[in-house]
Amino acid sequence: MLFAIFFNFAGLGLFCWLLYALAVDALAFFAALSIGFAAFRAGAGTVCAVALALIAGVGVLTLIRIGVAATRSWPLRLAITLIYAIPAGVAGYQLSGAFAGLGGASGLWRDAMALLGALAVAAAARARLQAASSRSREMMRHGRRRCPSGA
């Protein structure tokens, strides 16, 4: 019985982590779903639709990361970051509001928790995008690194 309770909490924690990780990449996920469903409705098979959805999601994520890493002007970088973080914030708002509603919170508390969740998810999306772009910029700046021994 004790193991069942432990595994139930672990499964719930994993589910929450998965949903918030999905909310952070909401723009890429939405693009993947849109392309996948459009391909499926157009007559592509299930495997083809899933493959197109994966390519679209990875493509959107890659284009945004390249756009942030390649641009030097901060207004353009901010605009690209906002294009990525605003859908994440909306998804975080909806997700946090739903979880707060499951807990039985009243309307005002549910909205407050949803707003905090939206801010947290949008900040996580922005931080993840900035970290990936700074690593890419560092690699582009230094090129290929040489071994310390000179070999």
The model's pLDDT over 34-44, given as tens digits with 9 standing for 90+, comes to: 999 999 999 98
Rounded to 5 degrees, what angle do the CA atoms 13, 31, 121 make?
40
- For the chain, the domain total comes to 2
Q: Are residues 77 and 123 in the same domain?
A: yes
Tens-place pLDDT, residues 57-67: 999 988 988 88
The overall average pLDDT reported for the chain is 85
* pTM of the model as a whole: 0.74
Within this chain, do residues 61 and 107 fall inside the same structural domain, yes or no? no
Q: Are 37 and 46 in contact (CB under 8 A)?
A: no
- pLDDT tens profile 72-116: 888 888 898 888 899 999 998 998 888 888 877 788 888 998 999
Residue 16 lies in a domain: no
Residue 62 in domain: yes
Residue-number span of the structural domain to which 101 is assigned: 73-132
